[in-house]
Amino acid sequence: MGTESTPLKLPVIDFTKPELKPGTVEWDSVKGQVLQALQDYGCFEALFEKVPTELREAIFEALEELFDLPLETKLRNVSKKPFHGYVGQYPQVPLFESMGFDDADIIEKVEAQTSILWPQGNTDFSKTIQSFSKQLSDLDQMVRRMILESFNLEKYMDEHMDSANYLLRVMKYEGPKTTETKLGLRSHTDKNIVTILHQNEVEGLAIQSKDGEWFDIKPSKDSFIVMIGDSLYAWLNGRLHSPYHRVMMTGDKARYSMGLFSIPKGGYMIKAPEELVDEEHPLLFKPFDHIQFMGFYFTEAGQKAQSALKVFCGVEN
């Protein structure tokens, strides 16, 4: 795997206008930019002020507090779902640690998980995780609404919006303290619907373009990276791109990042709408349940596959 990559300026899309509501001229203009960026790159940089500066500062403090806990404490946060509880100490990616919060927009759920880490409770921590997730979920919903409108899929809007839960996964990548670049997180596509990433000032995220070139992403301190995952790629019968991405680390400083992941609920069948299947666009994937797909992804065959989605439910065309 090569480590060279070049800077690419992802499209920057402005979601800060107060009049950004469905049906307005502003909405349609942003919608057009969103569609173009997701077709070209599968991701873009979003300016979104609904998460205020104080909350952004608070979340990075919360992350430091969390990852500074003793390892035994962090290990108490186990989850039945792979990659949802504490992940770390992996020999293949020794710099990486992460912790997931299921239903991160719901305070009771966050509090229940927080109390595993801090048995006496930690109200500030829970509130920070929950309000950050809740505010950012508005951006996820705007983007998904714009995508459905762009493909004239309004009749599926309620079903689609109700089909997802939110996971907030927070991450720390230790600085490798060497001159060479070290792998922080290996190349993958996200398996969920939409991912929204935010990070501190330490860079490291790289995205692969459709023609296979790796690009370093240098988001501004206030922006968010919005990215398509495989579930949405499959549901849209391949209309939008879900990009490979990875994290490469250099230097001494730790990189803190977080992702808000909209994830299809278990039992919900992801099936491309008939409007998106025709002679020119034959069905790419058989209907599937996300939990079952994740079950496959974490098997040896799933981890080895170049595209776990294709192996799991791809249609031979």
Ligand X SMILES: O=C(O)CCC(=O)C(=O)O
Binding site for ligand X (CB under 6 A): 169, 171, 185, 190, 197, 199, 205, 245, 247, 257, 259
How far apart, in whole angstroms, are the C-alpha atoms of residue 246 and residue 290? 22
Percent of residues in the chain assigned helix, strand, coil, to nearest 5 = 35, 25, 40
Amino acid type, 297: Y
Contact flag: residue 97 with Fe ion (CB under 5 A): no
**Which span (40-48, 182-190, 246-254, 301-309) binds Fe ion, by CB under 5 A?**
182-190
Kindly state the smallest distance separating residue 69's Cβ from ligand X, in Å: 20
Closest CA to 113 of 195, 163, 58, 169: 169
Nearest residue by C-beta to ligand X?
257
Contacts (CB under 5 A) with Fe ion, residues 233-292: none
Amino acid type, 203: E
Looking up tokens 């720390």, which residue turns up?
A: 172
**Which span (136-144, 156-164, 187-195, 198-206) binds Fe ion, by CB under 5 A?**
187-195
Closest CA to 45 of 81, 13, 80, 3: 13
| Binding partner at 185 among Fe ion, ligand X, none, C-beta below 5 to 8 Å by kind | ligand X
CA distances from 186 to 249, 255, 277 (A): 11, 15, 33
| Binding partner at 171 among ligand X, Fe ion, none, C-beta below 5 to 8 Å by kind | ligand X
The secondary structure of 80-97 as a DSSP string is: SSTTTSEEEEETTEEEEE
CA distances from 257 to 7, 23, 162, 187 (A): 20, 34, 27, 16
Q: Which is nearer to Fe ion, 217 or 270 (CB)?
A: 217
Kindly state the smallest distance separating residue 28's Cβ from ligand X, in Å: 30
Kindly state the smallest distance separating residue 93's Cβ from ligand X, in Å: 11
Closest CA to 253 of 184, 186, 169, 170: 184
| Binding partner at 205 among ligand X, Fe ion, none, C-beta below 5 to 8 Å by kind | ligand X
Q: Which is nearer to Fe ion, 131 or 137 (CB)?
A: 137
| Binding partner at 109 among Fe ion, ligand X, none, C-beta below 5 to 8 Å by kind | none
Q: Which strand (E) or helix (H) includes residue 128?
A: helix 123-150
| Binding partner at 197 among Fe ion, ligand X, none, C-beta below 5 to 8 Å by kind | ligand X
**Which span (90-98, 189-197, 208-216, 249-257) binds Fe ion, by CB under 5 A?**
189-197
Kindly state the smallest distance separating residue 188's Cβ from Fe ion, in Å: 6
Q: Which is nearer to Fe ion, 125 or 261 (CB)?
A: 261
Contact flag: residue 230 with Fe ion (CB under 5 A): no
Q: Which is nearer to ligand X, 138 or 216 (CB)?
A: 216
Kindly state the smallest distance separating residue 152's Cβ from ligand X, in Å: 30
Contact flag: residue 190 with Fe ion (CB under 5 A): yes
- Direct distance between the N- and C-terminal alpha carbons of the chain, in angstroms, rounded to an integer: 30
The 10 Å Cβ neighbour count of residue 178 is 11
Alpha carbon of residue 55 to chain centroid:
19
| Binding partner at 264 among Fe ion, ligand X, none, C-beta below 5 to 8 Å by kind | none
User: Could you list the residues that contact Fe ion (CB under 5 A)?
Assistant: 190
